[in-house]
Amino acid sequence: MIRDRDYQTLARVRAELRAFAHFTEQSTGGAGLTAQQHQILLALRAAEGFTLTIGQLARTMLLKPHSISGMADRLQTLGLVERVPGQQDRRRIHLRLTNRANAVLASLGKVHKAELRRIRPLLTALLAELD
């Protein structure tokens, strides 16, 4: 059963998640990126071997491949990713981070970790209220 208090807690959790998304938009904007571009870079950095295809990124980000392809073009123009032919099938193109992208991610990673550490106690308490 969902109580009135649960709805209040759910609303507070949603507000905190939105605040974190806003924090991300602000911090990535300061680095010259959109939040989605930052998410692509994170997905690439988190991937085994640090490369993904457009299709893999599209599935990860829940977007259409043509949308990811356009974002990849912009990231390539910014010098943050490069396209690399696959080793098994050279028609299959992988995206790989550049050294510049790794430096940007390191900087953004520090501030995002700090922000997540800051909001962790609140989120933990809110989630505990839903038990």
pLDDT (0 to 100) of residue 25: 96
Average pLDDT over residues 12-26: 97
Average pLDDT over residues 66-81: 96
Average pLDDT over residues 112-119: 97
Q: Tell me how many domains the chain contains.
A: 1
Percent share of the chain, pLDDT over 70: 100
Expressed as residue numbers, the domain containing 104 is: 4-129
pLDDT (0 to 100) of residue 23: 97
Percent share of the chain, pLDDT over 90: 88
pLDDT (0 to 100) of residue 86: 82
Nearest one of 126, 121, 124 to 9, comparing CA atoms: 126
Whole-model pTM: value is: 0.89
- From CA 4, how far away is CA 8, in angstroms rounded? 6
Measured between alpha carbons, how far is residue 127 from residues 16, 42, 130 in Å? 12, 26, 5
**Which CATH number do you get for residue 121?**
1.10.10.10
